[in-house]
Structure 1
Amino acid sequence: MKVDKLYQYKIPEIILNSWKQNQGDTLLPLQTQAVTKYGLLENQNLIISSPTSSGKTFCGEIAAVAKLSQRQKVIYLVPLKAVAEEKFSDFKTKYSDLGIKILISTQDHFENDLDLSNGNFDFAIVIYEKFNQLLIKNVDILKQVALIIIDELQMLFDPHRGPVLELALTKVVASPNKPQILGLSAVLQESNGISPSNNVTKLSSWLDCRLLVEKTRPIELLQGVLYQGLFRFKKFNSGEESSEDFLDLNGGHPLEILFANIEKLVAEAEQVLVFLKSKAEVEAGSLILSNRVSWLRAGNAISEIKELEPTTLRDKLINSLEQGVAFHNADLTYPERKMVEKFYLAGEIKVIFCTTTLSLGVNLPAKTVFVETLKYQNGESGQRSVLIPLSWSEYENISGRAGRFGREQNFGRAISIATNQFEANCLWENYVEGKSEPLTPQLKTLGWEELLLDLTSCFLTTSLPNLKNIIAKTLSYQNCKINEDSLRETVQNLTQKKLLLSDETGNLKISALGKIFALQGIAVETGVYIQRKLKQNPEQNSIYGESAKAETISWVYDLLHSKEGQQIYAPLSFEEEKN
């Protein structure tokens, strides 16, 4: 389908010309299907599941611009601040000159909260948590919104971000106001033998979406394992298996194998992304490689970073950039991350060592991606972080950075390094030949008290039967028998704690304190504890005297044992642990 044909959907010619200049005259097959067969521009709810670089993000852009051209509002949901910043910068560059009011809502941009809540925007890029807060404050904002785009929809099944995204989408599903929904994911797959109750079909039914699944990429991707100097791979599109010679270091250390082959690829004029399991290893890897090589310095990048506010990592980054190497992790400031991205895309930076943040939507492509298939995850109850394997979905997102459409003409490589035959076999079976994990909604991990507070906060008044009906509309509790006695007991507990208010007819409404708990995502137990401490004798809260010091220590100790406090792990140095 020619881009010009989108004119029939009332997309302005000036935008079509811009798209032709940047995207080409013809839509990709996925985009054509979405428009002509799946009702993307005809208000049809749709989930697009397709590999990275297949064009699904531009489907979202097409749908958004079509709504904006009709003076309708659009909300674009993303999981991470880094992704939100990248999308905001991209859309602002493309469309703000047309008079479209674009805003971003993350924890770093509280200045936009009032405009967002009042609907004073055309296009809003919002992280999941802020979107749920928005609906708690003003669920009627949905009357003004014509399209909600959910990027990385598979995060609905993530143990950490899944519950809040499901709470937000439940409010959309239960609302009488029905904006169009467009879900985007690279890793959602059809059942593949998994029970239908746990697959993407159930999700599409819950959101009342049609499902568009594409399984090929415009640019071929070679996913495989490097062992003893041989890169054995499988082609993503064709499934054909083959191999390619790399450097063999006769059983050398994995980092030596990694660095030697990076040098080989850069000598062949390639750019490389390296995904490692921790922020510390990302920084160390960048510095070690920069000390090994004699490449052209990233002079423009160094000049630009020296103009930025000094930070703890600036000198490390400059040292790496002296050889055209960089690192990218959450400890860099936003301007530093943008500087790294800018000069990588310009070709001045040859190699970036990065963490998994880059795998979720930030558009930094490479011919070759090295993937360490491990990650750190916080231990239970805030204990030391534990090392666990990447999921297949995470591997797919990371490996998909290779061979991006528009950057590479032939193919991309995703390489994992093995040090023995057993490891090579495991990597091949679990990732190259891997399958999507069962999709398990995560809302049931949220306590009943927190769930009821969140849902009640959207209403002036409600009732127990109404709350039961809304819970039944969640993805997690759909088709589940809800214990009404437990529900009633939870309501009574919240009423006793004055977080819910009840009248003689059984009508319920949230109290001012309860709304604060819901807005901030504070566990009821933690919030009640803080409330009780604040009500104590003011003299006990004085900053003077030994008793005040003891009281402060007690506060800190108790808060660290709260539900939220147990999720915090403060890493200690060797000396701190020894003492």
Structure 2
Amino acid sequence: MKDIRDLLIAKSAEKLVRETSQQLSQPSSPTHEDLFECTKAKPISNLSTFGVGDKYASIFKFSQFNKMQTSAFPMIFQDSDNCVVTSPTGSGKTVLFELAIIRALKENSKAKILYLAPLKALCNERISDWSHKFARFNISVGLLTGDSDTREVQRARTCNIVISTPEKWDSFTRQNKDRKESLLPLSLLLLDEIHTIKEKRGANLEAVVTRMKYLYPNIRIIALSATVPNIDDISKWLRKPEKLAATTLRFNESYRSVKLTKTVLGFNRKSTTNEFQFEAFLTSKLLAIIQNYGNKKPVLVFCATRKSTIMTAKALSTKLGSYFPQKPPITDRLQPQLLDLINNGVAYHHGGLSSEERRVIENGFLSGKISVICCTSTLAAGVNLPAYLVVIKGTKTWINGSLQEYSDLEVLQMIGRAGRPQFESQGACVIMTQSAEKAKYEKLIHGTEEVESSLPHKLSEILLKEVASGQISDSQSANDWVKTTFFYQRYLVSPYSYAAVVKPVIYKKPSHCLEFLLQKRMKELWDGGLITIQQGKFVCSCYGDTMLRNCLSLDTMKYLLKSKNIEQDKCLDFLCQTPEFGNVEYRSLEKTLFRKINQSQLIRYRLEGEIEAVWQKVHLVVQFELGRLDYPTHPSFKNLLFNFNYDKAKVLRQMSNVINAGISIFERKADTTSLRSMLYLGRCLSAKAWENTALELTQIEGIGKAGARKLEAGNIHSIKEAVQLSKESFHQFGIKNSATIYDQLRLFPQIHLKARIIKNASASDLLNIAIVITTPIEYIPNYDSSECTILINARNTKELIKFMKIPLRQTSGHMEINLEMDARLNKEIVIYADFTDKVGSGTEVSLSSLQSIDESDFSDEEDVELMLIEREKRKYEEQAQTDAKRRREYSLEMTEEGVFTEIERENSSMSSITLE
């Protein structure tokens, strides 16, 4: 029988909810003033968690909601309107999401809910927390981030709560136009840190939310934000179709469970002082700040770099002395330098530490044995280490060799670590910055800086995505789309905030200027070949599809499109300098590491001079992978290993995308030289080994890097050479498991070609290509995703005659292809066949159209039966080119008839009358 006390608590909670609801009830679209008064009114007392019902009360680890959660309860849990909440960091906003989830599940136990957050770290926190909380109710939670694999995508389609980043959800909803049907019923959208739409990555968030409003006009949206003054603009953007605005809830600092004292200290920097000297100056001020604001309680000091965390910890260790009470020493086996600091009450914390070192430091801080941790900003996102005092020592960090400001989100997350609700009712944070930046950070921490849209700066890319998704098909739909964005909401309020992209004109209304901007951006996409016009409608071109499919930036696409004739030995140089790798971080501490890697004997393309640029780091990371290098063992490089592996995975993933895009582009441009170079590097990247080197042998199970080097020393440089060896030969080379390796070599697939030209009396001849793959398809690893490429070109002119990809799953290992050829072609042609994901398996044959005999790489001894498969004859490419030309001419005709007719005239008139 249920405890009578539980029933009484539940009844009391229900009564209190009704009373609070009556006190705080508002119209469906309350005014700004009403809402402000609404959230200023304090409830009589905090609600019990049983207000959500007995079933779900156990989700919460506490028995009562705090003041902010109690005030928001009627609007979040009892109403169905969209809701935007602005509240200080650390006030317990995440609970509001959980209230909305519970409401959705009570209405429909199979409801589908989407949570979007700007950072993977936030997504990881939610997946860890909510998977545990909701598992007992058979509510499944799935994760979709940039690192998600196919299984995670499949799980996300079937689970109740999907957690994702805007970038991944953008790809997920756009690439499959039937995605809406597969996700129904999607009833609730949760937006965390919505104010980050003003950040660089905010354009993606704004575009994705705008698309979700279009796909699901009746979806309920709950958005949480840090304190911002123009939250009403966000509410108008996120409103339901029939409302003027979403319900808006404002909570000030009085709603924090821990009162936080926020201070910004501005320091003058002399013109003769460099960044390192200014940082040292800030370090010299830390002791006084800790003594003035720290109250002899735990302190986190956020530093710009890993090196800075170490230097700052050393400086504080010598100065703090007896300020903090002495604690029992920590005796764990750590680096002597780190252990000495820890036993002085100070430690440093960054991504380069081992998991054991991080564990000792975090446990020591939580237990009180460590009083001060000097750390990088990453600790604010992923580790729960609250402190009484947080000090942000400098507001800039080193990224790719230059100082850049922290994002607002990073600053707010660092501030969010201040205050320890389980121990105290107060906390403090201090931001140390240059005097010129003091006002900016005071606006940020006090919530007086307005949120603007970052959409205009990525407008061309966003427009292309919406053309691909089908939401934009002409000028009118582009205008309709932009009116549903936050950018439009803010532009009407403050058009001069966007004067850099939307030029104000005396005789034009702001809305007309915006229409002109849209036309201009659409024309840029059309001029660049990324969109085309079919039957008067905008559609993505093959180049546009390539860009979106491979998640490339517009700048990277332009870089690839303007390039040609890339030779194989220059291909890696070319790719590493694409704009796509501009976001790779090159830390000053890494320069010694990459100098060491560049000096390795296994580096195929050694770089000259100092390793200073990001593209050089990318170059060496790729070579490290393809050369199968060992990570340097010097102790000074140990702390860099974690970030090196993280950066390597990111670089290789991006490089694969750029190569795949390059293959599509250069095939379309009929650039044989560049196409072959891209295919070559793509094969090497998939196989993780350079082709035409002994490293090919590492693809064979049982032959590692050491085995490949032993065979290379014995003058065996490829798989094809190794196949000729006897079992005994491997033993002589000092390689173990020779019998297994001997068998594995014979299972490794090889491609054989036989080609001939069949003369016809008509204008065209047939090129007959017979292909045999030696290993049965089902024995080839990953044959479901593996492909065979056929490339045919003229030897002398390098004219691309034909290129095709053949999925292995569509073959039986034997196939025959007939292609129509121009009978007048009297050049020697070359046919290349390769796997896309293996090196050392390809082959090539040459023949002239004047020959009537077969040319083949089959020997008389090979007994290979060719199973000829009848295939429908392919139309010659000239016909396809004629059709494409006809469509292009039609598109041009449509354009000239009115799609972009006014743009040049408008452009000239605007440039002459634009307000400066």
Fold in common (TM above 0.5): yes
In structure 1, what is the equivalent of residue 418 of structure 2? 402
- C-alpha displacement of 1:340: 6.0
In structure 1, what is the equivalent of residue 82 of structure 2? 45
Gaps of 5+ in 1: 190-198, 228-251, 307-313, 542-547
Q: Does the alignment pair 1:570 with 2:586?
A: yes
- C-alpha displacement of 1:451: 2.3
Structure 2 CA distance for partners of 1:176 and 1:15, relative to 1, 3 Å: closer
Equivalence map 1:539-550=2 (5 Å): 540-541=567-568, 548=569, 550=570
Asked whether the equivalents of residues 47 and 183 of structure 1 are also in contact (C-alpha less than 8 Å), the reply is yes
Distance 2:484 2:192 in 1: 22
Q: Does the alignment pair 1:203 with 2:214?
A: no
Which of 271, 275, 283 is equivalent to 1:255? 283
Asked whether the equivalents of residues 187 and 397 of structure 1 are also in contact (C-alpha less than 8 Å), the reply is no
Which of 117, 124, 136 is equivalent to 2:174? 136
Distance 1:531 1:426 in 2: 44
Asked whether the equivalents of residues 393 and 431 of structure 2 are also in contact (C-alpha less than 8 Å), the reply is yes
In structure 1, what is the equivalent of residue 531 of structure 2? 500
Whose Rg is larger?
2
In structure 2, what is the equivalent of residue 544 of structure 1? none
Distance 2:410 2:66 in 1: 25
Distance 1:325 1:181 in 2: 44
- C-alpha displacement of 1:483: 5.6
Which of 201, 204, 215 is equivalent to 1:175? 215
Structure 2 CA distance for partners of 1:61 and 1:331, relative to 1, 3 Å: farther
Distance 1:371 1:493 in 2: 43
Q: Does the alignment pair 1:119 with 2:167?
A: no
Amino acid at match of 2:286: L
Amino acid at match of 2:458: L
TM value normalised by structure 2 = 0.48
Amino acid at match of 1:153: I
- C-alpha displacement of 1:508: 3.1
Q: Does the alignment pair 1:351 with 2:372?
A: yes
TM value normalised by structure 1 = 0.72
Asked whether the equivalents of residues 222 and 412 of structure 1 are also in contact (C-alpha less than 8 Å), the reply is yes
Asked whether the equivalents of residues 298 and 387 of structure 2 are also in contact (C-alpha less than 8 Å), the reply is yes
Amino acid at match of 1:170: T
Amino acid at match of 1:255: T
Give the structure, 1 or 2, with the largest relative contact order (CA under 8 Å, sep 6 or more): 1
In structure 2, what is the equivalent of residue 148 of structure 1? 189
Amino acid at match of 1:412: G
Question: How many residues are aligned here?
Answer: 504
Which of 547, 550, 557 is equivalent to 1:527? 557
Distance 2:355 2:119 in 1: 13
Equivalence map 1:378-417=2 (5 Å): 384-386=401-403, 388=405, 397-405=413-421, 407-416=422-431
Amino acid at match of 2:71: Q
C-alpha RMSD of the superposition = 4.4
In structure 1, what is the equivalent of residue 68 of structure 2? 30
Amino acid at match of 2:132: T
Deviations 1:66-121 (A, max 9, x none): 324532122222222222222222222333344322222223333555226x6222
Which of 107, 110, 119 is equivalent to 2:146? 107
Amino acid at match of 1:514: G
Report which stretch shifted further, 215-224 or 348-357: 348-357
- C-alpha displacement of 1:261: 6.9
Structure 2 CA distance for partners of 1:502 and 1:78, relative to 1, 3 Å: same
SS of 1:218 mapped into structure 2: coil
Q: Does the alignment pair 1:456 with 2:467?
A: yes
Asked whether the equivalents of residues 471 and 481 of structure 2 are also in contact (C-alpha less than 8 Å), the reply is no
SS of 1:364 mapped into structure 2: coil
Which of 451, 472, 485 is equivalent to 1:474? 485
Structure 2 CA distance for partners of 1:80 and 1:225, relative to 1, 3 Å: closer
Asked whether the equivalents of residues 144 and 153 of structure 2 are also in contact (C-alpha less than 8 Å), the reply is no
Structure 2 CA distance for partners of 1:473 and 1:506, relative to 1, 3 Å: same
- C-alpha displacement of 1:332: 6.1
Equivalence map 1:174-193=2 (5 Å): 174-189=214-229
Which of 99, 111, 115 is equivalent to 1:76? 115
Asked whether the equivalents of residues 317 and 341 of structure 2 are also in contact (C-alpha less than 8 Å), the reply is yes
Distance 1:181 1:554 in 2: 45
Structure 2 CA distance for partners of 1:210 and 1:114, relative to 1, 3 Å: same
Deviations 1:159-201 (A, max 9, x none): x121111111111232344321111122223xxxxxxxxx221
SS of 2:65 mapped into structure 1: coil
SS of 1:476 mapped into structure 2: helix
Amino acid at match of 1:45: N
Deviations 1:358-399 (A, max 9, x none): 556864322222232422265xxx7x42355886x7655533
Structure 2 CA distance for partners of 1:446 and 1:224, relative to 1, 3 Å: closer
Deviations 1:249-305 (A, max 9, x none): xxx96535535775999995x322222233432244345556887754556xx68xx
Equivalence map 1:329-348=2 (5 Å): 329=350, 344-345=365-366
Report which stretch shifted further, 423-432 or 135-144: 423-432
Aligned residues with identical type, % of pairs: 23
Amino acid at match of 1:410: S
Asked whether the equivalents of residues 338 and 347 of structure 2 are also in contact (C-alpha less than 8 Å), the reply is yes
In structure 1, what is the equivalent of residue 388 of structure 2? 367
